[in-house]
A and B are shown apart, each in its own frame.
Chain A
Amino acid sequence: MSAALELKGVVKTYGSRRALDGLDLAVPRGTIFGLVGSNGAGKTTALAVTVGLLRRDAGSVSLFGEGPFDPLRHAGRVTLLPQDSRLPLHARAEDLLWFYGRLQGLGEGALRESIDEVLEWVHLNDRRRSPVRTLSHGMMRRLTIAQAFLGRPELVLLDEPMSGLDPREASRIRAILKRRHDAQTVVISSHNLHELETLCDGAAFIEAGRLVRQDSMDTLTRRSRRVTFFLEPAGQPLPMEELTKALPDATWEQALDGAELTVKFFDETARAAEVNARVLEVLLRHGIGVLEIRRGSALESEYFSATDSHASSVTPLPPAGSATP
């Protein structure tokens, strides 16, 4: 099946600056996909180019394998939550959604149903008749999220959707995104990497307008190949011989402060739960407290590592039998 969104060698320049410098990206259908990158990396530009708000200078964009965005063909199927755009302040929330829905070609019944649904999602049902100017910043943000899901589009592009939301609303939106319609593809550009890690099926690292790395979240964070134990007290000697015996094929890393022990296992068939059980048993038997166990590594550290902007703070442990650091 063709990708929901595919960018090939897309170039976009602003004067002499290249915002996108041959960006390649492929977002599989039916996934939640994260775009990660520093400020000015090109994430917002990539989303705007996708829906034709910005004209690309070179390269190709294809939506659902049907070619670039065409309002006649893709209206209502592709939506965007733009980053820094303001809704018309005098319009009422419901009227605005009605107008947008009509432009998408939704009939009256379907549109009414969809408006009720998205306003319920973002907790704005009681403010549906309120002019936008009377809504708080967070409420306006929720309304912009609501418009992006109007009419159940096949591809939803969200640029920093959680910025400005209070923790409760952000959590609610995350839950809604996870429960989304199966046929829906959602692309989220965000600086909140923890959020992307918990939410997304895959992600792409973009820097200086280029793709640095793209993969599934499992592969990016090595969830199926790595378990980290957070120890208490930090820095006490570890029973490496026993650990090695418990998992002969694994390699071990301990953070410089001794607070983290990471197990890397290369056997594809090994299950994280099994690794966890074996290591935990040894550690607890030796009176080493385990505060937290994390599967895989943080997306943040993988991003730093992939983009070479953050030095790794871990050192490999010597083989079993040697002194621990």
Chain B
Amino acid sequence: MNPTLRNTWTVTLHELTDSIRSRRAIVLLILYALNAVVATLIFVKVLHEMENQFEKAVGVAQAEKAGGTTTAMWKNRNFRELISHLVGNKETAEKLLETPPLALFFGWLSFFYTPLLVMLMSASRISEEVWSGSVRFMMFRTSRLSWCVGKYAGQALQLLVALLLSGLAAWITGWCRMAFFDPGANAAAIAVFSLKAWIYGIAFLGLAMGVSQTIASPNVATAVGFVVMILFSVVSMLAEWVSRQPWQEILNALDLLVPGGHKMDLWLPDAMHAGVATVFLLALGAAYMLAGYVRFSRRNL
């Protein structure tokens, strides 16, 4: 195997085992799974309350478990037409309505918390090794690029495992607490959203690793990572709100350079939109990471 690829793979595997040894991965997995369980429980409770109120209003018996009324409504022709009208695209609306409500909630939830947890766990990964000096034991054994890419890939694999685990946690919670729970449909939809959240998270992971390569202090790197992430969110929000020219065009162009600008395309069920968004998000992650590497490749260690 090519030495560069071999070393990248060696660093990737080490990053995974190192995270497990340092209990970092355990903390990450617990955070993701706990988050999914708690949020799903809240979702089920809120859904149950809403259903009970609806059932009371229409004068039918109140169900003991959540999900029955929603499932019935989800299958109702008039409701589906209403959703088609709201979405503006019948095919997209149909695809969304094929998705179980719990999976839709899980998708929203994982798109919300993945960037936060990525920044919390990964923005210090490189800077802490520079800070402690442990990087100096490696930089004469492999290239800086192999090491950085290996760390990035290792973190990405951890993130995938964490998201799949949180999806499993949400699925189990839903299965235990919801009526008319379709295990197969929910599992498939949650898995798809886990993968989409992972792709979305990869872009933020690139940002976190890019920041980590430029700042020596782990705490400062994490703080800067959060600040940049918030700035990116502001760009996406402004791109949606501002309609005055030429700001709208400028913000729309900037929005293409931040992950938030591709979030909705990734959400869409059709392969074309999701595919383009995937390519953009992976490219953005790599670009952020490499932008940090430009500094890292020249810095004194």
Q: Which residues of A contact B (CB under 8 A)?
A: 48, 51-55, 69, 71-72, 74-76, 78-80, 82, 84-88, 90-92, 95, 99-100, 102-105, 131, 144, 147
Contact = CB atoms under 8 A, between A and B. Distances in A.
B145 to A, nearest CB: 9
B17 interface: yes
Given A48-B136, A55-B298, 13 more contacts: A51-B140, A53-B301, A71-B141, A75-B142, A78-B140, A82-B136, A85-B134, A88-B22, A90-B23, A95-B17, A100-B137, A100-B141, A105-B3
A133 to B, nearest CB: 10
Interface string B121-147: 000000001001110111111111010
B300 to A, nearest CB: 5
Contacts of B3: 72, 75, 105
- Range, interface on chain B: 20 to 34
B301 A69 contact: no
B137 A75 contact: no
Contact of A52 (B6, B23, B129, B140): B140
Contacts of A82: 133, 136-137
B249 to A, nearest CB: 41
A101 to B, nearest CB: 9
Contacts of A78: 140
13 contacts: A48-B300, A53-B136, A53-B300, A55-B298, A71-B143, A71-B146, A87-B137, A88-B22, A88-B132, A90-B23, A99-B14, A102-B10, A131-B21
**Which 8 A-B pairs have CB atoms at the shortest separation, nearest pair first?**
A85-B133, A103-B141, A51-B140, A90-B22, A82-B136, A71-B143, A86-B132, A85-B136
Contacts of B137: 82, 85, 87, 100, 144, 147
Interface in B105-130: 129
B301 to A, nearest CB: 5
Contacts of B243: none
A48 B21 CA distance: 30
A53 B140 contact: yes
B136 A99 contact: no
Interface in B254-301: 298-301
B18 A103 contact: no
B69 to A, nearest CB: 50
Given A54-B301, A85-B133, A99-B14, A74 B140 contact: yes
Nearest to B145: A71
Interface in B4-37: 4, 6-7, 10-11, 14, 17-18, 21-23
B133 A80 contact: no
Contact of A105 (B6, B18, B299, B300): B6
